[in-house]
Structure 1
Amino acid sequence: MNNILVFPMIVPILAAMLLLFFRSNRAIQRWGSVGAMTAVFLISIWILQQVMRRGILRLDFGEWLPPFGITFVADVFAMLLVTASSLVTVLCLVYAAFVKDEKRESFFLYPFSLLLAAGVNGSFLTGDLFNLFVCFEVMLLASYALMTLGGEKKQLTEGIKYMLINILSSWLFLLGIAYLYGTLGTLNMAHLSLRIAEAGQPPILTTISMLFLVVFSLKAGLVLYFWLPGSYSALPAAISALFAALLTKVGVYALFRTFTLLFYHEPSFTHTIIGYMAAATMIGGSIGALAHRDVRKIASYNVVIAIGFILVGLASYNEAGIQGSIYYLIHDIVIKGLLFLLVGTIVHLTGKSRFDEESGLITNYPLFGWLFFIMILSLGGIPPFSGFAGKLFIGEGAVGAGHYGLTAVAFLSSLFVLYSLLRVFLIMFWGESTITSKNQVPLSKGMLASLLALGILTTVLGLGMDLLSPYISEAADVLVNPDLYIEGAMQND
């Protein structure tokens, strides 16, 4: 029965391979990819319910028991992220299907998007560090292709920088894996947790943990985010939404998994450093969001701010903080997908990306304008939208841990998020319309449907906080108590 754990990774891979044979049939490419990811989403919901009912599930490939074989481990934390990521991927692919970017579609936009989703889901589910590296590489190879698809000059320029940074981080990741295996003789994460606990995390392991912190910070955009704004702003809407919603979240997931399961014995050192890095990220992201007038750059810096905010919960390292981070992580997958699709739609409709070059859009596109406003409220953590619960719990956790300065930085950054996007809304959407009815570009109902679905989703997540609460509590419980993960990942039936 546990064989179904491989489906969130294998279904998009098989679908991508099949779609390669239908290069000339764009309808099959579009709706085949949507169908595959819809199946993954439904399977993920079923697995999530099984995990809640039966506890942590494990799949051993080739019947090799841990710690010797390849293992997938599904706990609530992993499955919440797989489910949210799969749903947002479906909506981004629907958006792309109605944009009909035939130049990119003819060069396998949809197969590469499916491979990206497969790498993301595999990263969430894998139970050992080497296969985390493998899944990272599947995800990154697909992202390299998507980054340069279309061959525009800005894409190629930013794509080279993006690739070099990720190649460097992958090399450092391999180096960290080699040192860890040489020190402890295993790469199974549950087994590593046992070995590190037995050793008491001596200085050599704390040093190795700093190497992993650098690696995952590069991938998440924590402090070392200089590659992110240019890269994400160079992409078309659907691809940039996928990148913003999924890629940095894998780095964040890896940070949470390693610093709650492996390197949690010296929190006064490791988690304090994470706190300083989170503060620096939020400050830098806020400055960037206020400094730019290009809406794509503003959106990209808001990704950076959110990464820092989520890591405040990990730096606090208490149950309230971890719960808040999980809430906010799920919220951020949804809202960053919506933000980048909205921003991409603005560029599609107006042909402009600077917010001071357009006005009155709400006159021409009223529903679109109010969706943009809902997105701002949710990003700012205004109730009843999905950002509120996460910010509330993160703040409670940070105060509980005595991180008053970090709490102040976190909530000031939220004000900067609100301001950076409210000025876009007030200038671009209000005032006299600069678009005449003759020059108005029609907004496809299919594109609008994807935006509307994400807008409804961020509202439902906020209003349904009580329904989500048992899942969040269970996920946080496993992160705060590593023994629960070890028992689920190592027990032999």
Structure 2
Amino acid sequence: MAASASPVSDLSQALVLSPVAPADWLVILPVAWCLLAGALLLMLRKEIRLQAGLGIAAAAVLVGIDAALLRHVAAAGPVTMVMGRWLPPFGIAFTVDLAGALFALTSAVVALAGAVYAAGDVDGSGRRYGFYPFLMLLMAGVSGAFLTGDIFNLYVWFEVLLISSFGLLVLGSEKEQIDGAIKYAFLNLVATTLFLIGTGYLYGLFGTLNMADIALKAEAMRGTLPLMTLAALYVLAFGMKAAAFPVNFWLPASYHTPRIVVSALFAGLLTKVGIYALLRTMVMLFPVEREELSFVLALVAAATMVLGSLGALGQSDIRKLLGYLVISGIGVMLAGIALGGPGGIGGAIFYALHSMVVMTALYMAVGIAGRLSGNFSLHALSGLYRRSAPFATLSLVLFFTVSGLPPFSGFWPKVMVAKAALDIGAWWLAAIVLLTGFLTTIAVGRVWVLAYWRPALPELPPPAGGVPASALVPLAALTLIAVAAGFFPEALLSSIQSAAGVLAEPSAYIRSVFPEGGRP
């Protein structure tokens, strides 16, 4: 008896059947490359002499990939790839818009600078125990968080970057590092738990984890679901990860404990992932809830700015001082998110990109200062200008930049946020932005006067030598980026405004996931 013919399945109802455009592979290539490079560096961990060269090369390739991705997204608009060819929202989506691409490229530049700096800062023991593999794993998590289009996978990439950050934090196993790691780990695990609870709640409400699908459903079902509770959970979780008041005490307790290059990478990357997550959830997914929480967010932003600035004024250890400046900058970004609109959201994005570059460079400058003097205390630091005038000049430019003085990169986002506040009558918030900029100027001016301009104290040891190229080159490169962004901001401002527009009106983002204009 002949067998009956098998029924023909219509795979177009379940799978993406069209071939993937070659340029679209750039969407997942940053994460794939970081994992591959990290695995290679791990296998070669005993080849200590090769670690730095391979790590720098891997970070340089990542910069090239992210630059190509940004160019592709700028030309084609948001781009989506779905794992396993399953149609969204069932397949895990990687969706990249201008905001994600800008954050990814800036993080890659910071990682490259850190890889170069580490060539002279991380000794053989640190390389043997995995600095460069941990760095690439960290970048896999950071890149994945910026590029994913799935809220649960945002959680997964947070876990990846946290695991690698734990490894970097305790590299060296000194008592101070262990103490800082415990505080860092506990508070971040609490934040991660809140994030997971919120994500489980979200899935129970929407039955999906795809961000584009959530944006569509939230708009259609608003008023019938407890979205304010969900939004508040995400604000608390991501606010803790971003070190916002009152859940920011873990940062100044831990960022001064690891090697300087690790502190630089953390200051440039980790809190900005929390800010990016807030932008993605509160601006794109829950804009109405963000508006209702705007006053609370503005109060939190103001408290974060003031606490950070006053904390910086009260520090004598310049590593701790920079930790408080990181916190103060987070307040400016939160103020932009609270204000909303093109100015507020654009200002938050611009300030985040600026802070990634400048705070990394400032920690590197502190590392060089400690190397020249053997100390991080303002009571002992002195005479740095006479020891290395080029290094002192770069430091002074960075001090101007972090203070928000014109025409450097920190000036423009503060103007955007202050103007957005004045436009809606929130003069008090604009005043706090300006006040904290003034307090920051005093804090870094104090560092300049005592550590750089003051004549060398007679009880200090003689200079240990000049500044090595492995430290000066990445510092100079990051400083040049900050100066260029301040003097020639037009192209960056245009991209940032477009990125803010896609976040606030995500129709292009949604069309990249659902090309037919709706869910399958």
User: What is the match of residue 32 of structure 1?
Assistant: 54
User: What is the match of residue 373 of structure 1?
Assistant: 396
Q: Distance in 1 between matches of 2:489 and 2:472?
A: 26
Alignment match of 1:347 (pick from 364, 367, 370): 370
Q: Distance in 2 between matches of 1:344 and 1:198?
A: 52
User: What is the match of residue 502 of structure 2?
Assistant: 478
Q: Distance in 2 between matches of 1:440 and 1:404?
A: 50
Q: Classify the secondary structure of the residue corresponding to 1:215.
A: helix
Q: Is the 8 A contact 2:45 2:130 kept in 1?
A: yes
User: What is the match of residue 219 of structure 2?
Assistant: 197
Q: Is the 8 A contact 1:201 1:266 kept in 2?
A: no
Q: TM-score, normalised by structure 1?
A: 0.97
Post-superposition offset of 1:203: 6.2
Q: Classify the secondary structure of the residue corresponding to 1:58.
A: strand
Letter of the structure 1 residue corresponding to residue 226 of structure 2: I
Is residue 187 of structure 1 aligned with residue 209 of structure 2? yes
Post-superposition offset of 1:438: 4.6
Letter of the structure 2 residue corresponding to residue 462 of structure 1: G
How many pairs are equivalent? 493
1:316-342 per-residue CA deviation (whole Å, 9 max, x = no partner) reads: 111111111121111111001101111
Is residue 468 of structure 1 aligned with residue 470 of structure 2? no
Assess, with a 3 A threshold, how the Cα gap between structure 1 residues 65 and 159 changes in structure 2: closer, same or farther: same
Q: How does 1:91-110 map to 2 (within 5 A)?
A: 91-110=113-132
Post-superposition offset of 1:89: 0.7
User: What is the match of residue 172 of structure 1?
Assistant: 194
User: What is the match of residue 6 of structure 1?
Assistant: 28
Q: Distance in 1 between matches of 2:138 and 2:367?
A: 20
What runs of 5+ residues in structure 1 fail to find an aligned partner?
none
When structure 1 is superposed on structure 2, of 197-206 and 180-189 the one drifting more is 197-206
Alignment match of 1:390 (pick from 413, 435, 450): 413
Is residue 323 of structure 1 aligned with residue 346 of structure 2? yes
Post-superposition offset of 1:469: 2.5
Post-superposition offset of 1:434: 3.2
Q: Classify the secondary structure of the residue corresponding to 1:52.
A: helix
Q: Distance in 2 between matches of 1:294 and 1:301?
A: 11
Q: Is the 8 A contact 1:334 1:458 kept in 2?
A: yes
Is residue 289 of structure 1 aligned with residue 312 of structure 2? yes
User: What is the match of residue 333 of structure 1?
Assistant: 356
User: What is the match of residue 211 of structure 1?
Assistant: 233
User: What is the match of residue 45 of structure 2?
Assistant: 23
User: What is the match of residue 277 of structure 1?
Assistant: 300
Q: Is the 8 A contact 1:128 1:188 kept in 2?
A: yes
Q: Is the 8 A contact 1:70 1:128 kept in 2?
A: yes
Letter of the structure 2 residue corresponding to residue 390 of structure 1: P
Q: Distance in 1 between matches of 2:197 and 2:381?
A: 49
User: What is the match of residue 17 of structure 2?
Assistant: none
Aligned residues: CA RMSD? 1.5
User: What is the match of residue 446 of structure 1?
Assistant: 470
Is residue 41 of structure 1 aligned with residue 63 of structure 2? yes
Q: Distance in 2 between matches of 1:101 and 1:113?
A: 15
Letter of the structure 2 residue corresponding to residue 397 of structure 1: A
User: What is the match of residue 227 of structure 1?
Assistant: 250
1:91-134 per-residue CA deviation (whole Å, 9 max, x = no partner) reads: 11100012242221110011001100110010000001100000
Letter of the structure 1 residue corresponding to residue 47 of structure 2: N
Q: Is the 8 A contact 2:372 2:463 kept in 1?
A: no
Q: Distance in 1 between matches of 2:457 and 2:103?
A: 41
Post-superposition offset of 1:27: 2.9
Alignment match of 1:237 (pick from 243, 249, 260): 260
Assess, with a 3 A threshold, how the Cα gap between structure 1 residues 437 and 367 changes in structure 2: closer, same or farther: farther
Assess, with a 3 A threshold, how the Cα gap between structure 1 residues 305 and 201 changes in structure 2: closer, same or farther: farther
Post-superposition offset of 1:310: 1.1
Post-superposition offset of 1:482: 2.4
1:254-313 per-residue CA deviation (whole Å, 9 max, x = no partner) reads: 001101111111344222221111111112112211111110110000000000011111
Post-superposition offset of 1:47: 1.1
When structure 1 is superposed on structure 2, of 130-139 and 27-36 the one drifting more is 27-36
Letter of the structure 2 residue corresponding to residue 233 of structure 1: H
Q: Distance in 2 between matches of 1:20 and 1:108?
A: 7
Identity %: 36
Q: Classify the secondary structure of the residue corresponding to 1:233.
A: coil
Q: Classify the secondary structure of the residue corresponding to 2:494.
A: helix
Q: Classify the secondary structure of the residue corresponding to 1:265.
A: helix
User: What is the match of residue 442 of structure 2?
Assistant: 419
Q: Is the 8 A contact 1:364 1:433 kept in 2?
A: no
User: What is the match of residue 406 of structure 1?
Assistant: 429
User: What is the match of residue 252 of structure 1?
Assistant: 275
Q: Is the 8 A contact 1:244 1:303 kept in 2?
A: yes
Q: How does 1:51-70 map to 2 (within 5 A)?
A: 51-70=73-92
Q: Is the 8 A contact 1:201 1:263 kept in 2?
A: no
What runs of 5+ residues in structure 2 fail to find an aligned partner?
1-21
Which has more radius of gyration? 2
Alignment match of 2:482 (pick from 443, 458, 466): 458
Q: How does 1:85-164 map to 2 (within 5 A)?
A: 85-164=107-186
When structure 1 is superposed on structure 2, of 467-476 and 481-490 the one drifting more is 481-490
Post-superposition offset of 1:489: 2.7
Q: TM-score, normalised by structure 2?
A: 0.92
Q: Distance in 1 between matches of 2:107 and 2:76?
A: 23
Q: Distance in 2 between matches of 1:79 and 1:55?
A: 11
Assess, with a 3 A threshold, how the Cα gap between structure 1 residues 267 and 11 changes in structure 2: closer, same or farther: closer
When structure 1 is superposed on structure 2, of 265-274 and 244-253 the one drifting more is 265-274
Q: Is the 8 A contact 1:320 1:394 kept in 2?
A: yes
Is residue 306 of structure 1 aligned with residue 336 of structure 2? no
Q: Distance in 2 between matches of 1:304 and 1:146?
A: 21
Q: Classify the secondary structure of the residue corresponding to 1:73.
A: strand
User: What is the match of residue 264 of structure 1?
Assistant: 287
Q: Classify the secondary structure of the residue corresponding to 1:432.
A: coil
Post-superposition offset of 1:362: 0.3
Q: Classify the secondary structure of the residue corresponding to 1:357.
A: coil
Q: Is the 8 A contact 1:260 1:479 kept in 2?
A: yes
Q: Classify the secondary structure of the residue corresponding to 1:266.
A: helix
Q: Distance in 2 between matches of 1:487 and 1:192?
A: 13
Q: Classify the secondary structure of the residue corresponding to 2:176.
A: helix
- Higher fraction of helix: 1
Q: Distance in 2 between matches of 1:120 and 1:319?
A: 25
Letter of the structure 2 residue corresponding to residue 115 of structure 1: L
